[in-house]
A and B are shown apart, each in its own frame.
Chain A
Amino acid sequence: MSGSDKFEQIIAILQEINGKLDRLLPQERSNNGNDSSLFESLDVMTLLSLPDHLRTTATTLVELQSATANDVAKMTHKERAVESNYLNQLSRMGHVNKYRKGRKVYFSISEESGN
């Protein structure tokens, strides 16, 4: 196989990957628009495999079921901003559900929303 053949093969593969990415990305975007569609419930085995800092936050949320970063911070004796960061991480990982109720942001371990 000559050098230019190889080059063309690489281009073909890259185009294929590009096509696949194009098909994936719109889905990703619509998911990001709505946190709860990413949400997969948090089971106890997943809880056990979380890194220490996130596990404490998640365990507290299992206890409270639905709470603001402030509620969690009161239980863990950490800063509200720290818990807010951890809760948002858990939400991005799809382990907790984030929703708004009035002016407050709530996190929950199940698919409840603002009502």
Chain B
Amino acid sequence: MCMTIAIHSCKGGTGKTSIGINLAAAYSLLGKNVCFLDFDSKATCFFSPFDFKSKKWINDVLFDKCSIMDVINEVDEHDKTGKLHVGLSNPDISAIREISSQDRKWQAHALKMIMNAKRELVSAGMDVIILDTSPGVDFASINAVAASDFVVVLLKPVYSSLRCTENLVNGVYKLLDKPCGIVENMCHESYFLEPVPNERFGIPVLATIPCLCDVAIKTDTQIMTFEEREHPFSESMFNIAGKIMDRLE
């Protein structure tokens, strides 16, 4: 069975893209055939290991101009037993303007295109599909959430982020009947002085990741789960990967 995991959060900069990429890498190291898709079409993913000189983008899939299979590229060079594929959104500013100005009807069609793409990836033998999204509630992110089987909800365990997340849980994920897991990221060291919660808003906490300065630098240019498997950040990725598999399989 293929699992589609959306990585979402109410606020920006919670670590969605870093965790999405590294979680995808962790699954590939666990022998899975993985596809990471950048659904943050308004602020696309710039990441040097994914510098494929793509000719086709997720935008083209949503506009019904090509198949998702034409968009994805394989990341090799690492001794993983599985495979890691990546599909990106078009970073060109005119493409961003075009996709940002679409109406509800187009968004309804886009959701259908995402569901089709998912089916194609499943028939191509993908085991795990990871959808990186934009923060908060907009069509791009909620379409991805609606197309997923599981939502990884990222938050920083601070008041503003918690209140905002509670809203999303009750106003979006629960209404769409999505199984979810929370990942608490960028936690201050003082947060670990007391026992960390294993549940919030009735949702299990899958991992609690400290704020680590080297992560901020390294995730910008490398896939940490590949480069430093023993690093606490990478270990958290394997942990999250295992917990989601336990829940879905």
Contact = CB atoms under 8 A, between A and B. Distances in A.
Contact of B112 (A40, A47, A48, A65): A65
Contact of B108 (A41, A48, A55, A56): A41
Contacts, number: 47
A43 B171 contact: no
Contacts of B139: 43-45
A70 to B, nearest CB: 21
Contacts of B115: 62-63, 65
A48 B105 contact: no
B171 A48 contact: yes
A73 interface: no
Contacts of B176: 47-48, 59
Nearest to B147: A62
A84 interface: no
B10 to A, nearest CB: 15
A65 B112 CA distance: 8
Per DSSP, chain B at the interface is: helix
Interface residues of B, number: 17
A110 B112 contact: yes
A67 interface: no
B177 A48 contact: no
A27 interface: no
A46 B176 CA distance: 12
Contacts of A59: 146, 176-177
Nearest to A111: B109
Interface of A: 40-48, 55-56, 59, 62-63, 65, 109-110
Given A44-B146, A62-B115, 9 more contacts: A40-B105, A41-B104, A42-B108, A44-B107, A44-B108, A48-B142, A48-B175, A63-B115, A110-B112
30 contacts: A40-B105, A41-B105, A42-B108, A43-B107, A43-B108, A43-B111, A43-B139, A44-B107, A44-B108, A44-B111, A44-B139, A44-B142, A44-B143, A44-B146, A45-B107, A46-B104, A47-B146, A47-B176, A48-B172, A48-B175, A55-B175, A56-B177, A59-B146, A62-B111, A62-B115, A65-B112, A109-B108, A109-B112, A110-B108, A110-B109
